[in-house]
Amino acid sequence: MNSKANSNINNRYILFRLGEETYGTPIMKVREVTEYKEPKPIPNSMNGFNGVINLRGEVLGVIDLRKILNISSTSCLSFLVFENSGSMLAGMVDRVMSVIVIPEADIEKSSSKNSTTKDYYLGIAKLETGLVTLIDLEKIGADLNS
């Protein structure tokens, strides 16, 4: 990582799997990755909200990224814990793969404001291994909040 001149913390991404595809999100926005545990459902909650878990004494809301992004998948092994308007949320993902540096030049910013994707996408990164969709966890959280 240190070999690249432009490898600062802001262009590091965490890659994870949702269904058949690989997604990424800026690592700065992720507080931690933790093992999946069955959330306790909360009554009257919205679609995409799966309940709460106890993470070291803190009660965290769990959101189902697969449901929100309309991805069908059955296995979930990890949570990405991220901050959302002062509290923490845990996003369900199939599994976490790696942390990599993606230079800005390799990212094609999503420009077209497509109404169905609701602005959750930061862009698409072209890696040697294929394309990775970069998503914005903060936006997803904020959207659920409104």
Name the minimum Å distance from CB 41 to other proteins: 6
Whose Cβ is closer to other proteins: residue 8's or residue 44's?
44
For the chain, helix (H) and strand (E) counts, in that order, are 2, 11
Residue 66 found at the interface with other proteins (CB under 8 A): no
Residue 58 parent element (H or E): strand 58-64
Work out the angle at residue 56's Cα, subtended by the Cα atoms of residues 86 and 67, and round it to the nearest 5 degrees. Answer: 60
CB of 133 closer than 8 Å to CB of 24: yes
What is the footprint of other proteins within residues 115-144 (CB under 8 A)? Answer: 141, 144
Among 2, 3, 5, 57, binds other proteins (CB under 8 A): 57
Residue 65 found at the interface with other proteins (CB under 8 A): no
Sheet order of strands, 78-84 included = 30-35, 78-84, 87-93, 58-64, 49-55
Residue 84 found at the interface with other proteins (CB under 8 A): yes
Summarize as ranges the residues that interact with other proteins (CB under 8 A).
40-45, 47, 49, 52-54, 56-59, 61, 63, 84-89, 141, 144-145
